[in-house]
Amino acid sequence: MKQLMLILLTLGWALPTTLLAQSPQPVFQVERLDGKSLAGATLKSLSPEAVEVDVEGMPETIPLKELEQLRQAATLPAPELPFLPTVILQNGSQLGGSVTKVVQRTVEVVTKWGPLSFPVNDVRSLRLAAADDKLETAWAEMAARETKNDLLVIRKGDALDFVAGVVGEINEKEVKLLVRERAVAVPRERVFGIVYVAQSPARPPLCEVTLASGDRLRITEAGLAGDNLLASIGAAAKASFPLNEIATFDFTLGKVKALADLPMTQSQFARSPLLTSAAFTVRKNRNSLGKPLRIGTREFPRGLWMHSGTVATFRLGREYRRLTATLGIDSNSTELPRIAPRVKVIISGDGKPLDTREVAWNDPPTPLELDVSGIRELEIRVESAREIPGILEHLVLGEARVIQ
């Protein structure tokens, strides 16, 4: 087939779009809960019990209980705008789009992937107003409230207020609300959003799929049709997504996260006449030369690489209870015995020290496990053992993960 296409192109023939548009099936990195990885996998099937992948023509079936995630090997472009969910389901799914109406206890939404419908009982919150930076924090707190009644959320200047009751139908003009057996119609343009009473999901999710658009979907059923994933979202909605638009399949449902995948800020607190500021950039999953992370003879597909003189701060949001990693000096350089680098690592949570230790170039890979319960921000600071940062003072945190 490829030879035929080459001959036709050489002769100047126009090929059908369907032939030219065919793209290779996306390749995924398989991450197991035991820390082992499998690279170059194409997805063949997904069931409630296992995932079947193909690696260089060799099939392999992996039980879901052994999986952390499938992560697409290609780097997908970030959304043009920060993703802000329009609909959040009771099972934690977050979808972008626009709410068209709510009628007969059914929410109708237009998404990038087409129109979807959800029973009201599947929905935790709806955003009806446009995004507003001034109100994002207030809306997030309002949408997370535990309440015995639905909340109709209204904007008042740069603040949000609510009326409790039972939210009924929503159309392009108004939102109907029942308050103490009295029906009220509120103009839709006045309504920022709706928060429904929290309920247990009707069906347990199989996994969480993160799309390139930023949508996070907890799917209850899944199958493959060519290069598309056919998925059930919640109790009833069904949709189809191109596999090459899927960033990750998370089988822990967010209970285990790579530290490198969390929101991070970084800064440089020390300088060296030998090194440029670029040398102090915190790297994710690779060192500064693009090589895999290594400690001794062990290689780590995921983790963090930090030069001495840098601080990395991660937003945990009080959602996790344990931090695990393997610490050591990056062993990719053959100059380690001559330079003999040594660093000091200080880990703190919300300003309080959690762990302090020194790491030398010839130390074996050292496991780290810390209690991070109740911590909002985790800080990792790497200091030089010298007065100024030296060369090859590169700390690796292999397979650094936080666990709920």
Structure tokens at 364: 């074996």
Dist CA 153 CA 167 (whole Å): 11
| pTM of the predicted model as reported, rounded to 2 decimal places | 0.74
pLDDT at 261: 85
The amino acid sitting at 146 is: E
> In this structure, are residues 148 and 190 in contact, taking their beta carbons and an 8 Å threshold?
no
Dist CA 317 CA 322 (whole Å): 13
Residues in the chain: 404
Do the domains spanning 21-72 and 257-403 agree at the CATH topology level?
Answer: no
- The CATH number fitting domain 257-403, selected from 3.90.1150.110, 3.30.1540.20, 3.30.1360.150, 2.60.120.1060: 2.60.120.1060
DSSP H helices in 285-354: 336-339
Structure tokens at 324: 């695990």
Residues with Cβ within 8 Å of 368's Cβ and at least 6 positions away in sequence, in order, are: 323, 324, 325, 326, 327, 355, 397
SS (H, E, C) 197-224: CCCCCCCCCCEEEEECCCCEEEEEEEEE
pLDDT at 202: 78
SS3 of residue 143 by DSSP: helix
Strands (E), 56-195: 58-63, 67-72, 87-89, 94-95, 98-103, 106-111, 114-119, 123-127, 150-156, 159-170, 174-179, 182-187, 191-195
pLDDT at 92: 92
Rounded to 10 degrees, what is the CA torsion of 315, 245, 256, 65?
Answer: 170
pLDDT at 21: 43
pLDDT at 136: 86
CA distances from 369 to 224, 317, 347, 348, 402 (A): 38, 19, 11, 13, 10
Show me where the domains of the chain are located: 21-72, 87-195, 257-403
> In this structure, are residues 171 and 101 in contact, taking their beta carbons and an 8 Å threshold?
yes
Rounded to 10 degrees, what is the CA torsion of 199, 204, 210, 211?
Answer: -90
> In this structure, are residues 345 and 380 in contact, taking their beta carbons and an 8 Å threshold?
yes
The pLDDT tens digits of the residues spanning 43-65 come to 999 889 999 999 988 999 999 99
pLDDT at 23: 57
Fold of 21-72: SH3 type barrels. (2.30.30)
The pLDDT tens digits of the residues spanning 244-280 come to 999 999 999 888 989 988 889 999 999 888 888 899 9
- Sites in the chain below the pLDDT cut of 50: 1-22
Dist CA 254 CA 94 (whole Å): 13
The pLDDT tens digits of the residues spanning 278-299 come to 999 999 999 999 999 999 999 9
